[in-house]
Structure 1
């Protein structure tokens, strides 16, 4: 059903056109409103939203030309047919310049009217089909968008020029005169739960970023999200940097709220799209060095090279890190690895060949540790191609170091448990003697300091209190049996002074041996 509005200052004309149209088109067309001047026409248009408006040119008050102009500001898709007398043809020509579909001259002939309306209906139908097609294409593009953007990001990471001969990327992203920069978002403490959560909320993450800027957004890969932000502004370098950091801060706040996790963001410099990989490498360098939430390459490059660690210092830290993996708790090892990587990328972030060399050497040292501790049946450390992405190398080495550390700590716990069992057995066999901690530690071949620590960790009580409790518990059993004197019992459980035994007994039990026996 096509909705029509008729605007003419003569009622007989309005009624005549209405009768002719509704009689001819019957259920296909309805005159939803009629107006006698431009003001009424504008008011009625807002209420009825007709598809077609038949507008008289010359009316008292607001004329037809100005009425058309104001209605077009509200809705550019509405179709206009001008009604004019021959002497008003100059007005009609002005209206046609505004995009009016056709005109009819007075007096109006029915066949001419129907011919013009048929033509306008065809235009309305065409516009509706085009609109539906645009909606359909937009839906398809919306569905294809993430895949296209992911494809572009993957191509960039694989060192393939995604623009070379690829008209799909060029058309989809409007790459003519395109400049931008890369922003890398790294999710911290990323695990399988967070991975699943980030995949589930991937579209929400995309929407957050797309709302804040014009960008190509990749998928969450491992624990990182790569964004190419379009920036064709004419800002100077410093202002552009501040704008990029403000955008990163805004994105960070929104993603942290959505995923409930900490993150950090590295930002590269602005480049033409054909050289955007340079910005990617810069952003990657920043993300590996930054120790705060948002970092920009131009800020990082201001770090004096004199303050960076030398390669010999890096190698020294490498050996210390391996020692920590073998000896320390996991939390300490994690901090040490983060510090080592930060120093490494800060010193040689622009020399990937050196970073690869250091990481490969670290792999060799870890592999030696695996064989030295007989862990090869539980963890494997395989070498990889020198050309492999350094970020993948970094994560692989980190994962292997933590796995080795975890296994070594488990071995320590098992060994510690066996040593404590031996120590307890020794105490039970020698409780009548003057047992000292250093003697038991020597028996199980552990340093006294470490033995004291693991004894309390395992049993929840220190060494001397354990011996005291063991002796007093034996004394309680013997006192209840009433076969021996208190003095004799004191000697039996390892106390050479009965008075001292009585004081210790009362301190532990709360009553004297005699009171306990009664």
Structure 2
């Protein structure tokens, strides 16, 4: 059901249109008010938020054009049908500027008015349908965003995107403010042995607990992104806090983040395992980020010599 406001300084005109609309269109439209001048029209439009307005032009005080301009400021999508007793080019031009849906000369035939209102109701139906479809698409896209983001990160880690412009465009779409410059990989120590006799649901619960602790630890470090990777690994990407943060300072932050994650996992009584974190070098060019990922994976290989529950930077091995 849509709503309609009737504005005319002549009471007989208002009552006549009310009777006609109630008789022929009452199943599709509800008359929410009638106003006898422009000031009342603006007040009623604010109060009732109509979908369509029948607006007379010549009225005492605030005329129909001025009232329509005022209403359009807070109801930009309202459909305004201008009615005038005068074939006045200036008024017609103003109506066009207002994007009024029609400019009609009195006396208006009943059939013409009903046809015009019917067309506007159809247009409102179409607009409502388009908005519903757009909202549905937005909601679907919103629910997919985490997966789109993970896909984007994996493409960066694989070095599949060569264009910096394309990377920046996708990062902006995904809400990534500072592009990452260093990669950490957290590896669950002895995951296969630790979960050999456990059910799949128990393995997944353990991984989820570890992932949640990693995200909590990383939350304190601005511009960080965490994603699950292989069965026993998680990837953490860290970007600069400020655009020109020095690589050495970013490296130290990455090491602090790695140590924070290691300590949080070690001290959690409900996890009962540890992680080793490999850290890659800082690469200021985003298209080279995959080198940092490769560094981090190579650093993890040295766990064989250092043992688990360690933070290992590639430059320290």
Under a length normalisation based on structure 1, what TM-score does the superposition of the two structures give? 0.42
Matching of residues 263-282 of structure 1 within 5 Å: none
Q: Does 1:13 align with 2:24?
A: no
Higher helix share: 1
Do 1:5 and 1:31's aligned partners in 2 also have CA atoms closer than 8 Å?
yes
Whole-Å separation in 1 of the counterparts to 2:17 and 2:109 = 10
Question: How many angstroms apart in 2 are the aligned matches of 1:24 and 1:163?
Answer: 61
Deviations 1:271-303 (A, max 9, x none): xxxxxxxxxxx87x7544338879xxxxxxxxx
- Larger relative contact order (C-alpha < 8 A, sep ≥ 6)? 2
1:219 equivalent to 2:235? Answer: no
User: Is the 8 Å Cα contact of residues 82 and 100 (structure 1) preserved in structure 2?
Assistant: yes
Q: Which structure carries more strand by proportion?
A: 2
Q: Is the 8 A contact 1:163 1:170 kept in 2?
A: no
Counterparts of 1:65-80 in structure 2, within 5 Å, are 65-80=65-80
Kindly indicate whether the alpha-carbon contact (under 8 Å) linking 2:185 and 2:296 is maintained by their aligned counterparts in 1. Answer: no
Residue equivalent to 1:289: 252
1:390 Cα deviation from its structure 2 partner: 1.0
Counterpart CA distance in 2 for 1:39 and 1:55 is 12
Cα distance change on mapping 1:216 and 1:84 into 2, 3 Å:
farther
**Separation in 1, partners of 2:6, 2:25:** 15
Change (3 A) 1:193 1:30: closer
In structure 2, do the counterparts of structure 1 residues 55 and 149 end up closer, same or farther at CA, with 3 Å as the change threshold?
A: same
Specify the alignment match of 1:391 in structure 2: 296
Q: Which has the larger radius of gyration?
A: 1
C-alpha RMSD of the superposition:
4.6
Say if 1:149 and 1:218, in contact at 8 Å, map to a contact too. Answer: no
Distance change (3 Å), C-alpha of 1:149 and 1:13? same
Deviations 1:153-207 (A, max 9, x none): 111111111769x9xx9689669xx99633669799x995752425998xxx7xx
Deviation for aligned residue 1:226: 3.5
Aligned residues: 261
Q: Does structure 1 residue 182 correspond to structure 2 residue 180?
A: yes
State the distance in 2 between where 1:34 and 1:129 align.
Answer: 28
Aligned residue for 1:30?
30
Output the CA distance in 2 between the equivalents of 1:48 and 1:401: 73
Whether contact under 8 Å (2:3, 2:32) holds in the other structure is yes
1:53 matched residue in structure 2: 53
- 1:383-423 Cα shifts (integer Å, max 9, x gaps): xxx99711122234247623499xxxxxxxxxxxxxxxxxx
Structure-2 change in CA distance of 1:225 and 1:91 (3 Å)? farther
8 Å contact 2:182–2:254 — kept in the other structure? Answer: no
The residue correspondences of 1:116-515 to structure 2 (distance < 5 A) are 116-161=116-161, 181-182=179-180, 194-197=209-212, 219=227, 222=233, 224-226=235-237, 244-245=241-242, 287-290=250-253, 389-398=294-303, 401-403=306-308
- Maintained 8 Å contact 2:8/2:14: yes
The Cα offsets for residues 208-237 of structure 1, whole Å up to 9 and x where unpaired, read as 99xx9xx99663555554378xxxxxxxxx
Query: Relative to 1, partners in 2 of residues 1:29 and 1:70: Cα closer, same or farther, differing over 3 Å?
Result: same
Give the C-alpha shift of residue 40 in structure 1: 1.3
Alpha-carbon deviations, 1:486-507, whole Å to 9, x = none? xxxxxxxxxxxxxxxxxxxxxx
Shift of 1:29: 1.6
After superposition, the C-alpha distances for 1:21-48 in whole angstroms (9 at most, x for unaligned) are 1111132222111111122112212221
Give a deviation string over 1:292-326, Cα, whole Å, max 9, x none: 879xxxxxxxxxxxxxxxxxxxxxxxxxxxxxxxx
In structure 2, relative to structure 1, the CA distance for the partners of 1:133 and 1:216 (3 Å cut) is farther
Structure 2 unaligned blocks of 5 or more: 189-205, 258-265, 267-275, 284-290, 311-317
What TM-score results when the alignment is normalised by the length of structure 2? Answer: 0.65
**1:512 matched residue in structure 2:** none
